[in-house]
Amino acid sequence: MRNHKTLCVLAVLAIALLAGCAAPAAETAQTLPENTPAATSEPPSVSETVTITDMAGREVTVPVNVDHVFGANTNSTVMLYTLTPEKMIAWNIKPDKAAMAYMDPGIAGLPVLGSLYGSGKESNIEEVLTYPLDLVVLCDPKANQRVMDAADGIEERLGIPAVVVKADMGNYDEAYAFLGPILGAEDEAAALGAYCRDTVAYAKEKNAILRDEDRVRVYYARMDDGLTTEFTGSPNGRVLDLCGGINVAEGEVSSAEVTLEQVVAWNPATIIIGHIGAERVAAYDAITGGGLWDEIDAVKEGAVYSVPRLPFNWFDRPPSVNRIIGVKWLGNLLYPGVYDCDMIAEVKAFFSLFYHYDLSDEEAAALLDS
């Protein structure tokens, strides 16, 4: 009897082991041949390489012709999407349905491989290697030791060169200028970089002429209840800083929950709502749905706005070039007398240049309707 029991246990173990072996093998066999040119018998082309210094000072040997590129995180992938979408091999996270409407279906439908750096689902190295890949791009605002280590680790595990791109609000022109020649898209990179530089310069110019008493006090509401915000210590408030708004949440922490009483005490003149997916509706309803929120000037005056989020959030996440159009949007919203942008035209121009999508006037108006 006892023996029998033990036998059962071991049998279960053995079955689990076999199942563990068999299932992945079977799946691999089914799915791989279709979408893996890497695994087919294409003769390995002896491609030329060139050694460059990346923006973190690392020496990297990259192919002269890069045809297949993967962004290590969403930040990088947005930059790649603006520059050479046709060379992307995959997304880090699946673009949501609403965003796909503004994308080429072929690119919107690229595989989803997770991230090699930072938050989100971690890539499965072997899965990444089943796709043809020449280069990994890792964009980060800091390009510090951790980022450099991560890039080294990616090279070691994938055997594919990885370049670090230091990319933040103030230097997108440099980031594009670095990426352009590597990806064989110098002209596009120059145009994109110039647009970013001009936008930031424009915002700084407007910021300089704002009088302190005209500056708008803004509360940035996140999450369903609108009670999570980004404090002044957060890098997510760059757009607000650049536009010359005052973040009411002063403090060195970054993202944190606050109480409604605290928001009432801050009494912001404008509330902007950041959102992912359906969060928007919930937070908007919470804020405009009465109660203590009604004590706040922004709610009394109806100055509650949702941040446009398509195809990528205009205000923060991911903190990439998607924020550039947000600068004009927010500047125009807060200081209509100072900013003189025709937002419909601006949005159309931005989408055409960055997202390779020609918006109709109606679509642009719909995106802006917040």
Partner 1 sequence: MDRGVRDNRWVLPALFVLLLAAAVSSLFIGRYPVSVPEALGALLGGRRAGTDETVCRIMGASRLPRVAAALLAGSALSAAGASYQGIFKNPMVSPSLLGVSAGAGLGAAVGIVAGFGGVGVQGMAFGGGLLAVALVYGGSRMVSSKNDMTLSLVLTGVVVGSLFSSLIALLKYLGDAYDDLPAITFWLMGSLAGITLRDAAITAVPVIAGIIGLCLVKWRMNIMTFSEEEALAMGVDTRRMRGFVILCATVITASVVSVCGTIGWIGLIVPHMARMLVGSDFWRSLPASIVLGALLMLLIDDVSRGLFATAVPLGILTSIIGTPFFFYLLMKGKRSW
Question: Which one of residues 76, 77, 82, 123 is an interface residue with partner 1 (CB under 8 A)?
Answer: 123
Question: Which one of residues 52, 87, 108, 114 is an interface residue with partner 1 (CB under 8 A)?
Answer: 114
The residues with which 272 forms a beta bridge, in sequence order, are 220, 305
Alpha carbons within 13 angstroms on the beta-carbon side of residue 86 total 5
Q: Which two tokens stand for residue 143?
A: 């390009």
Burial of 52 (0-12, 13-18, 19+ CB in 10 A): middle
Q: Which of 80, 72, 73 is nearest to 321 (CA)?
A: 80
Site for partner 1 in 307-336 (CB under 8 A): 319
Q: How far is the CB of 204 from partner 1 (least distance, A)?
A: 23
Contact 214, 270 (CB under 8 A): no
Cα–Cα dist 304/264, whole Å: 14
113 near partner 1, rule: CB under 8 A = yes
11 near partner 1, rule: CB under 8 A = no
Alpha carbons within 13 angstroms on the beta-carbon side of residue 284 total 17
Q: How far is the CB of 231 from partner 1 (least distance, A)?
A: 10
Neighbours of 230 (CB within 10 A): 23
Site for partner 1 in 132-171 (CB under 8 A): 140-142, 144-146, 148-149, 153, 156-159
Cα–Cα dist 319/274, whole Å: 13
230 near partner 1, rule: CB under 8 A = yes
Cα–Cα dist 347/26, whole Å: 48
Q: How far is the CB of 40 from partner 1 (least distance, A)?
A: 11
Q: How far is the CB of 253 from partner 1 (least distance, A)?
A: 6
Question: Which one of residues 13, 265, 276, 292 is an interface residue with partner 1 (CB under 8 A)?
Answer: 13
Stretch that binds partner 1, among 120-128, 302-310, 326-334, 343-351 (CB under 8 A): 120-128
Q: Closer to partner 1 by CB, 16 or 201: give it.
A: 16
Binding site for partner 1 (CB under 8 A): 2-3, 5-6, 8-10, 12-14, 16-17, 20-21, 23-25, 27-29, 32, 36, 38-39, 111-114, 118-127, 129-130, 140-142, 144-146, 148-149, 153, 156-159, 230, 233-236, 252-256, 319
